[in-house]
Amino acid sequence: MTYDYDLFVIGAGSGGIAAARRAAQYGAKVAIAEFKDLGGTCVNRGCIPKKMMVYASHFPDLFEDAQGFGWSPVQSTLDWKKMITGVHKELERLNGVYQNMLDKASVELFRGYAKFLDPHTLEIGDRKVTADKILIAVGGYPVKPDIPGMEYAITSDEMFLLEEQPKRLLIMGGGYIGVEFACIMNGLGSDVTQIIRNDLILRGFDDDIRAEIQQGMQKHGVRMLMITDPPIIEKTAEGLKVTLGGKHNETIIVDTILAATGRKPKLKNLGIENAGVEINNGAIAVDQYSQTSQENIFAVGDCTDRMNLTPVAINEGRAFADTQFGGKSRTMAYDNIPTAVFSTPEAATVGLTEAQAREQYAEAVKVYRAKFKPTYHSLSGRDERIMMKLVVEEDTEKVLGAHMVGEQAAEIIQGVAIAIKMGATKKDFDATVGLHPSIAEEFVTMR
């Protein structure tokens, strides 16, 4: 049978664009459908705009730190609208970059929702197209808890659209999105309260990282409350009234409530039932080659709910294209993937947590820790600490995990991740000469 395209990609986010471009490089006739901005969540409603706001939130501390180094005091105020306008201008530029990428790769772009009519046929608006292979890369979306008053809350998507800075902000959720926005808005001068359901934030991360970040956030001024019962939310003339039960038993008035309680695959209106694709726990079920229950339909990225990180989606997309169109069969490896939390203090990690290592290796685990005040803060006057940790398997001395909380954690862990991916041992770390004076050298001097 003859098809309109060799490959049709649904969703022009990080994974979808990576797959489309790679397949086109192999000579495939490729099209991609996107109803919104190019680049997906990361570029438009996630990593990129959030990181720019992280940078903005650090300036008050830098102004204060400068005085310890001999600079005169700086009096400065935030122009929220100027910051947000600058962020959106950069996003517009990036959308143009992605458009150029598709144009240069000769990938045809359809603007609109793509819906399955059958395993090989899609409908985009009033047009129907067929494809030999179809890749689903529709990503995910933020969800709100089903409690009364949630209609007054916003999600992370809307945080970048606020015309005015909320002076009083309540954040629901202790995952990395809630944690990062709590730190951003606190740094920008908002009064931030964060409510969590567990004793520690960032479930799934190493416990030392969780404790260090939480302590650091509270020291910087984020008010953190652990609650077990959902809050009661009402809209009043003074603002949003949030009533907390349990041991807190208090009422808070805020301007904005951010619901950062999770994300789900964006499968609505996809017509996936018409294609006979299997769904597992709300996500598209795939094998190690990103193939669904239909042999010609594949899926990558957050809609599969495997590991929801932008670089992972990109690698999944390229591995799919290499396998299906490049004659280079390969799969995505999910071990030793570095990740970061751009909180204040910042954190980054790669490999196994201490708990995971002990579960796998029992008592044959040795942990090295270091906690110290970096040289920079000898003069800044701020009480900031760095925490570094190596998790090692004793018999082979293989480094199973590396964890860090503190300034430049992400930049440092990226390099450490290469060593761990290659199977480095503690002896390899010890044999490496440290770069002095630096924070990173502590990873090769821990005893």
CATH of the domain at 308: 3.50.50.60
In this structure, are 105 and 29 located in the same domain?
Answer: yes
Q: How confident is the model at residue 245 (pLDDT cuts 50, 70, 90)?
A: confident
Encode pLDDT of 175-202 as tens digits: 999 999 999 999 999 999 999 999 999 9
The number of beta carbons lying within 10 Å of the beta carbon of residue 367 is 17
Q: What distance lies between CA 86 and its chain's CA centroid? A: 22
Domain that holds residue 388: 339-444
pLDDT digits (tens, 9 = 90+) for 26-71: 999 999 999 999 999 999 999 999 999 999 999 999 999 999 999 9
Judgement on whether residues 270 and 130 belong to the same structural domain of the protein = yes
Active site residues: 436
Does position 283 have pLDDT exceeding 80, yes or no?
A: yes
**Rounded to a whole number, what is the distance in angstroms from the first to the last CA of the chain?**
65
Neighbours of 440 (CB within 10 A): 19
Q: Please state the rounded mean pLDDT for residues 207-227.
A: 97
Average pLDDT, the chain: 97
In this structure, are residues 368 and 389 in contact, taking their beta carbons and an 8 Å threshold?
Answer: yes
Handedness of CA 306, 330, 273, 45 (dihedral sign): positive
* Six token digits for residue 378: 């000898």
What are the residues facing 322 on neighbouring strands?
none
My answer on whether 108 and 257 are in the same domain is no
Residue 241 three-state SS: strand
Contact between 384 and 373 under an 8 Å Cβ cutoff? The reply is: yes
Give the CB-side neighbour count of residue 11, counting CA atoms within 13 A: 29
Per the structure block, which two tokens stand in for 267?
Answer: 């499968």
Provide the pLDDT for residue 246: 76
Q: What is the largest CA-CA distance in the chain?
A: 75
User: Does residue 201 sit within a domain?
Assistant: yes
Beta bridge partners of 398: 425
Q: In terms of domains, do 303 and 424 share one?
A: no
Of 51, 236, 253, 235, the closest CA to residue 167 belongs to: 253
Other Cβ atoms less than 10 A from the Cβ of 380: the count is 19
Domain match, 244 and 282 both = no
| pLDDT(219) > 90 | yes
> Does residue 122 share a domain with residue 92?
yes
Q: What is the CATH number of the domain that holds 432?
A: 3.30.390.30
Report residue 248's pLDDT band, with 50, 70 and 90 as the boundaries. Answer: confident
List phi, psi (to 5°) of 231.
-75, 160
Residues 232 and 315 grouped into a single domain: no
